[in-house]
A and B are shown apart, each in its own frame.
Chain A
Amino acid sequence: MAAHTSQAFLSLRRLNGTGLGLHSALSRLTYATALSTNISHGGRGLPDRGNRGGPARKPRRNAGEPRTEKMAVDQDWTAVYPAAAPFRPGSVPLPVRMGYPVKGGVPPEKKGNLELIKIPNFLHLTPAAIKKHCEALKLFCTEWPSGLDTSAKCDEHFPIKIQSTDYVSAGLSVRNPKARVVHLKVKLSSLNLDDHARKKMLRLVGERYCRDTDILTITTDSCPLRQQNYDYAMYLLTVLYHESWGDGPCLLIPLFANPGQRSTWLLLPSENRGLGG
């Protein structure tokens, strides 16, 4: 009853306000007065700003029971946690406890436990979920070539190995300057080099060759992009190969007859005498 009278009061005042030009000031005034009358008549504790002196506020609903009570034992867990998500105590039907116990007590329970939320969980990566992922990815995969079943065959057909690293980090940018580095590894035995060419090649590359494994490693990071570094590495390998076969001007290399002996120098003639002569 009192609420109705205050509502009528409010509407009358509102019309007057819009009639005159001082809309904002009057409407603020009327709102304030309506609010004060509501408090004096209603006395419902907190002022109800949502319903302005209108019908009774909806009673506060109680929180329902958690979902764990209704879960079946053989449910599809991949539907509960399909993707990486923080720990939800109402969705995980396990009596997990985490935390340092109070003296003479037990670790705190999972409800409202911030420690369980802080840690990364793998509830979305159960074996059943991983099986589903593999099944979905199989559509995009092709069979491994049957002729390349041993690593020896792989080395024989694909002697040059390119290695580069991708970096994933948490942040706004995907760029990482360390990702442009390219390592090119090749066994010198797979290259067509005769004795002279091999010695010249070893002289040219210096420390990039490992004697134990017979692998030449060329590392390029001078260009800003990985594609450019890869092209540069391949270009370096090509130039080294042709240089060692004597394509360019002649080169002065020491001959190591035996380790410990004094080196003798040999001037090698080149097939095509280029500009250097």
Chain B
Amino acid sequence: MAASFNSTRSLVLLRAIAQSGTLCSSSGSRALHVTAVCCKNRAARIRVGKGDRPITYEQALHPHHIGHRKGWLSQHTSNLQGEGGAAERTVEDVFIRRFVFGTFHSCLANEIVIKRRGNVLTVCALMLQKLPPHKFYFLIGYSESLLSHLYKCPVKLEIQTLQDKVVYKYL
């Protein structure tokens, strides 16, 4: 029964039914209220709006396009057959993304690309020109030295700056 509903209208209707159900039974009885499962994929998707919201290429293409219309943001050999260390690399990636996001606050134009070549960790980022260059240089040096000491491997930051974000389309 749940599988046959595949539109938002049915979902709204079910929510209304559930709410009306709660109103009727507010006189003291307890019951279990359930709605049908929302069989909709919501992962990494920006919902369609009025048409004035600019989104980048990365945000516009959904996760099922990875490998077809999108590339991978992080590349290393641990995900190949018979190779180890995938979990460690993933945890490092997550940390580096949060670290760079916080260090270059509100300067990031797009997602961060992490490349590993042997021992070297290269973090490629697109930035907006919100800070003066000498501040950028300081933050780059600070991030590189701190991450190198944390991960015991050479970490390089490759920054490209833009005037403003590159818009792919408007949703």
Q: Give the interface of A toward B (CB within 8 A).
A: 58, 60, 63, 84-86, 88-90, 99-100, 102, 108, 111-115, 117-120, 168-173, 178
Contact = CB atoms under 8 A, between A and B. Distances in A.
A112 B82 CA distance: 36
B169 interface: yes
Given A100-B61, A114-B126, 20 more contacts: A85-B158, A86-B115, A86-B122, A99-B57, A99-B168, A100-B69, A102-B169, A111-B162, A113-B166, A114-B56, A114-B58, A114-B110, A117-B160, A118-B72, A118-B113, A169-B85, A170-B77, A170-B78, A170-B117, A172-B152
Contacts of B118: 168, 170
Interface string B72-100: 11011110001101001100000000000
13 contacts: A100-B61, A102-B169, A111-B166, A112-B165, A114-B110, A115-B70, A117-B160, A118-B75, A170-B76, A170-B77, A170-B89, A170-B116, A172-B88
A122 B144 CA distance: 25
Contacts of B70: 115
A63 B124 contact: no
Given A63-B129, A171-B85, A171-B89, A115 B57 contact: yes
A170 B83 CA distance: 10
A92 to B, nearest CB: 12
A102 B60 CA distance: 10
Contacts of B124: 86, 117
